[in-house]
Amino acid sequence: MGDLASADGEDEDTENQAEDSLAFLELVARSAPRAEYDQLVALAERQGADEKRLRHMERLNRLAHTAHSLIEYRRNREAELLTLVDAAHEFAATRHHRQLLDAVPRRARLLLKAGVAYILMDHADAEGGSGTVVESADGNATPLFVGLKVPADSGLGGMVRARQAPFWTSDYLADPGIPHEDGIDEVIRAEGLRAVLGVPLRVGEHHLGVLFIADRQVRYFSPNEVTLLGALADLAAATMEGIRLIEELRSDIRQLRANASSAGAVLAVARDSSRLQSDLIELLLDGSGLDAVLRTAGEALGGGVGICGMRGEPLAEHGRLRRAGRADLRTACADALSSGRPVRVTDGLWLVALDPEARDAGFLLADTGGTAEDAVVPLLVVISQAVALHLRLRRGTPAKDRCRQEFFDELVGALPSLELRRERALMFSLTLGRPHVVLVARGPRQVSREFAACATAYARRLGGLRSARDDAVVLLVPGDDPDAAAQDARQELSGRLNHPVTVGAAGPADTVDAVGEAYREATQCMETLLALGGEGGTACASDLGFLGMLLAEDNDVPGYINQIIGEVVDYDTERYTDLVGTLRVYLESGRSPTRAAEILNVHPNTVSRRLERISQLLGEDWQTPDRVLDIQLALRLHQVRSALSGRQGAA
């Protein structure tokens, strides 16, 4: 019986311990207040629990308190991390430095439940030294905080800066270990602050400032709180650096855009100057007068242009020019001669020396209105150079140029003797030490003034001469390839006139005696090309062979070809066949279908069927001797004409 009683007692103890354990587990599971744990122990004492059970419950109570503390700690850490993540999202969405400076102190206050938070940022003072300033604050009661300048080595901020590590005090004003500064202490006292914690704001080794939180009562900051504020400071510093880099990038982009705009303006001015220079040079080469040069210049500048003397007296003018005082003009003339650059007389009125080294050369006067200086100065330089060149050409070599032109006119015509030709060539320095090509070009039905001017400019550019004969332009240009020279002249003259130009070429001629012969040969080539219907093409003797001798008359070559073999040509064109080629090979092979088939690489039956088709088109008597001769000549003419047309199309 005693053993049974002992066993029952042990079972009851085990059951009580199990129930007590479950009770404490339930309290831990629902995060019950700590007081309820102690209430379970007190209830057991009141129920008369033995000493063994009470010791067991005390142990359970301690374990429950520990578990509750761990759960509470982890819950707090989770909330803190969520707050950090939320702060990181807010920082990342910030695009401006000022917005970030306002957001960081507010987040620091919420994170550590502090009374005040503020940021102390590094900055350079007017003397180039280092210092700090309170850039932003949250929770402050007085306006003294924001904008407060603090020496870099004073206060709690100086200690954080020196150690590059967090530092805190539970009672700032009463802490003798801090290097106090009167201005800081006054603000701390006005705000009623006591506990202060500061952590560095830095990116790598680069120190940006210090982030502070402060309380108005004594507070001992835990390591966890210090670490938490340090993490927030790292996030803030990284965001500050990112915003700084973005702002630098924006500044660089703005500068690049400004540079691009400036470069675009410079390029536009250079393009306008180049276009104006080309137009003025073309006018000079065409022999245009001063009025045409000034008119083109005025159109480019959008105002009046003129030439004046040393005293400002007008010599030539186009458009309306504002009048300036004589004293202003004299001063501007002197400045232009000494500087060699355009000089502003009055607002919008410019003056340029045509030749700074010659005081009597005159001056260009231009009224540009409100055009910017950067845009107008390059144009004025180009215009002044063109006007000076025009005047120099007018003063210097017109007589010699006219004589050279007259000599070339005679050279392609008929001088009394070869000896006189050579004598005149030496007189005008027309040396043919290098080969020359003679070109005969025909464009519009008459040699218009525009056609003659274009041909003159083209010949001068190549260092040659130009004449006019029988409704055609004759050119003598350096070169040893008449075909290439003809192609180049045709392309340029046709482009300038917007009209097809037909060019015959001959040469090269390396003596004065050979120029007249080359002229007649080039004329014959051009007339042959026109007779073959090759208007707008080019030809030289090597292109035409014996046709150059036979077809320079006014024969209707296209009509002749159409009359003899037109039906076959049309059949090939409509059906993409080659009856013309078969007909030519058949006649050249002695009218043998077998030999023609071998040459054409087809079956003899194919040749026979093609000949039957040709008989249907030309008639059954097409192989009679008389008709065969006509067909062979028409085939040769068609072949040459097709070759010349193909060259024209390629050009």
Using one digit for the tens of pLDDT, what is the confidence trace for 499-527?
888 998 988 887 766 787 888 888 888 88
Give the highest mean pLDDT range of 244-253, 532-541, 551-560: 244-253
**Segments of the chain assigned to CATH 1.10.10.2840:** 557-650
Work out the mean pLDDT of the chain and round it to a whole number.
78
Residue 161 is predicted with a pLDDT of: 84
Kindly tell me if the per-residue pLDDT of 4 is higher than 70: no
Q: Return the pLDDT at 415.
A: 46
Q: What would the pLDDT profile of 5-53 be if each residue is shown by its tens digit? A: 455 556 666 777 787 778 777 777 777 887 777 787 777 778 777 888 7
What is the four-CA torsion angle of 17, 21, 24, 30, rounded to 10 degrees?
A: -150
478 phi-psi bin (left φ>0, alpha ψ -120 to 50, beta other): beta
Kindly give the pairing relationship between strand 314-318 and strand 305-308.
antiparallel
| Residue 197 banded pLDDT, cuts 50, 70, 90 | very high
pLDDT band at 136 (very low <50, low <70, confident <90, very high): confident
Q: Which range has the worst mean pLDDT, 201-210, 266-275, 453-462?
A: 266-275
Q: 502-509 and 538-540: which strand pairing?
A: parallel
Q: What percentage of residues in the chain have a pLDDT greater than 70?
A: 82
Domain with CATH 3.30.450.40 in the chain: 114-248
Query: What's the rounded Cα separation, in Å, for the pair 500 and 489?
Result: 11
Q: Which residue has the higher pLDDT, 483 or 398?
A: 483
CATH superfamily placement of domain 287-396: Dynein light chain 2a, cytoplasmic (3.30.450.30)
Q: What is the CATH code for 114-248? A: 3.30.450.40
Helix (H, G, I), strand (E, B) or coil at 501: coil
Summarize pLDDT for 330-368 with one digit per residue, the tens: 777 777 777 778 887 777 787 788 776 665 667 887 877
Q: What is the pLDDT of residue 423?
A: 42
Mean pLDDT of 453-471: 80
Phi, psi torsion values for 445, nearest 5 degrees = -65, -30
Q: What is the pTM of this model?
A: 0.43
Looking at CATH, the fold of the domain delimited by 398-550 is given as Alpha-Beta Plaits (3.30.70)
Contacts of 420 (CB under 8 A, 6+ apart): none
- Summarize the confidence of residues 202-227 as an average pLDDT: 88
Q: What is the pLDDT of residue 166?
A: 92
Residue limits of CATH 3.30.70.270 in the chain: 398-550
What local confidence, expressed as pLDDT, does residue 447 receive? Answer: 55
Q: Which residue has the higher pLDDT, 580 or 262?
A: 580
Task: Give 343's DSSP letter.
Answer: E
What whole-number distance in Å separates Cα of residue 51 and Cα of residue 609? 133
Band (pLDDT 50/70/90 cuts) for residue 417 is very low
Whether residue 554 is predicted with pLDDT greater than 60 in this model: the reply is no
User: Rounded to whole angstroms, how far apart are CA atoms 632 and 615?
Assistant: 15
- Does pLDDT of 395 surpass 60? no
Higher pLDDT, 309 or 231: 231
Whether pLDDT at 413 is above 70: no
What is the residue whose two structure tokens read 């070599």?
397
For 473-482, what is each residue's pLDDT tens digit? Answer: 888 888 888 8
Top-confidence residue, 647 or 55: 55
**Domain 557-650 in this protein, CATH class:** mainly alpha
Assess whether pLDDT exceeds 50 at residue 426. no
Rounded-to-integer distance, Cα 200 and Cα 191, Å: 22
